[in-house]
Every structure is written in structure tokens, then in C-alpha cells.
């Protein structure tokens, strides 16, 4: 038995694998480097996302809302240009929902996703630098201080935190998109139809 990303009902598995059960389910999260979170002005980015993301769709936990409001109001807006916020965006299947979220928040990203492979899109937000990287690389890059804010899957975040429990990453918001399921699969040669029949196999 192997655990892989996918959906039990999807036909994404090759002819040798049979899905038997969804084990875990994750979505995309906004994360931050703890040091940057405590010292940099990320208020414009955070306020834009928080204000637009949850309009009419429920709200994040009160702890997150309070913390975002605190950070958003902590710095004068003129300081943003002097204090560059380094934002990592995911490549791959999370690009389109990430772009839709940012556009909904009033954050314009030019050349993302890029038809030419550009990894450095631009934005209408002053003081923000963007780079596109693999979602699985995001947590370590944020922990190492190469980025202040990033969007990645919670599966990659948890894997990183299991390996590095004292990692300086702060989980900010469940962005409620990019849902990924971890599915248990077995060889099609086994007569297994669900997780309970694994005992008999």
C-alpha cells in the first residue's frame, strides 16, 4: 500500500494502482516566516486577502482575524516601499486558484501563470517582490528566510513541520482552495476494494 495525492473517484491512477481510501485532505494555506511576521509590514497584502477572501463565505478563526488586524494596522502605509515583502507563489496546479484568490483580493499579478516560464511575475502592490517556486519547496524556503509570505499546500507545510518541529513558520490562513487528498492505493493484482479488505489480502 502506498499513499499518494489524488481522489478516490478520479481516474488519475495508472493501470497498476487501485485507490482504496482517502486518508487525509488538505487545502492551500498562507504562511509566513516568524521573524518577518514580527518585523515587516505585510499589512496591505494580508488585509487585501482577508477582506476579500471571506466576504460572504464565513470567516477564518477569530485568532487569525485578530492577528491579521493587528499586523495590518501596525505600520504606516508609507513604510511598505522601504520594506520589501518577498512573496512566494506556487507553480503547478495551484497557480490558477492562487491567481483567482489574489485577483479577488484586488492584487494584480502580471505573467502568472507564465506562458514563457517566467518565475518572477510583477504585482500592483508597491514593496512586494514575487517568485514562483514548487509548493513542496515553499516551507523550507520560508523557514530559511528567503521569503516572508507564501502560499503552499498544508500537506507540504505539515511534512516540513514534522521534519523540523522548531521551524520558524507561522500558519496564517486556510485559503480554502487547492484541495488535495492523500489516497491509499494498492496494486491492481490484489483483490482489495476498500481499506477493510486489506486485512484479508
Cβ(30)–Cβ(149) below 8 Å: yes
Q: Is 132 in the same domain as 38?
A: yes
Q: Is 4 in the same domain as 77?
A: no
pLDDT at 5: 56
pLDDT at 114: 92
pLDDT at 52: 62
Number of residues in the chain: 201
Contacts of 145 (CB under 8 A, 6+ apart): 33, 35, 36, 168
Q: Is 18 in the same domain as 86?
A: no
Give the integer Cα–Cα distance in Å for 111 and 121. Answer: 5
Instruction: Label residue 191 exposed, middle or buried (CB < 10 Å: 0-12, 13-18, 19+).
Output: exposed
Q: Is 120 in the same domain as 189?
A: no
Q: Is 63 in the same domain as 75?
A: yes
pLDDT at 50: 74
pLDDT at 175: 84
pLDDT digits (tens, 9 = 90+) for 101-148: 889 888 899 999 999 999 999 998 888 999 999 999 999 999 999 999
pLDDT at 113: 93
Give the distance between the most distant pair of CA atoms in the chain. Answer: 66
Q: Which domain holds residue 6?
A: 1-25+179-201
Q: Is 152 in the same domain as 58?
A: yes
For the chain, which residues score pLDDT lower than 50?
8-9, 56-82
The radius of gyration of the chain from alpha carbons, rounded to an integer in Å, stands at: 19
Instruction: Write down the pTM of the prediction.
Output: 0.66
pLDDT at 68: 43
How many domains does the chain divide into? 2
pLDDT at 23: 53
Amino acid at each position: 500500500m502506498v499513499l499518494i495525492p489524488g481522489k478516490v473517484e478520479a481516474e488519475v491512477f495508472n493501470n497498476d494502482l487501485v485507490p482504496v481510501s482517502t486518508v487525509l485532505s488538505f487545502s492551500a494555506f498562507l504562511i509566513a516566516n516568524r521573524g518577518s511576521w514580527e518585523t515587516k509590514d505585510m499589512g496591505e497584502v494580508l488585509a487585501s486577502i482577508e477582506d476579500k477572501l471571506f466576504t460572504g463565505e464565513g470567516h477564518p478563526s477569530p485568532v487569525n482575524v485578530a492577528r491579521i488586524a493587528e499586523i495590518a494596522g501596525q505600520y504606516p502605509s508609507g513604510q511598505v516601499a522601504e520594506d520589501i515583502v518577498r512573496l512566494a507563489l506556487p507553480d503547478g496546479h495551484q497557480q490558477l486558484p492562487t491567481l483567482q484568490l489574489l485577483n479577488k483580493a484586488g492584487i494584480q499579478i502580471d505573467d502568472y501563470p507564465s506562458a514563457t516560464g517566467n518565475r518572477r511575475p510583477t504585482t500592483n502592490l508597491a514593496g512586494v517582490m514575487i517568485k514562483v517556486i514548487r509548493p513542496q519547496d515553499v516551507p523550507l524556503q520560508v523557514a530559511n528566510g528567503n521569503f516572508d509570505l507564501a502560499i503552499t499546500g498544508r500537506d507540504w507545510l505539515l511534512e516540513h513541520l514534522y521534519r523540523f518541529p522548531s521551524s520558524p513558520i507561522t500558519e496564517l490562513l486556510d485559503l480554502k482552495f487547492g484541495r488535495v487528498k492523500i489516497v491509499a492505493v494498492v496494486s491492481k493484482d490484489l483483490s482489495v476494494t476498500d481499506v477493510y479488505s486489506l486485512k484479508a489480502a
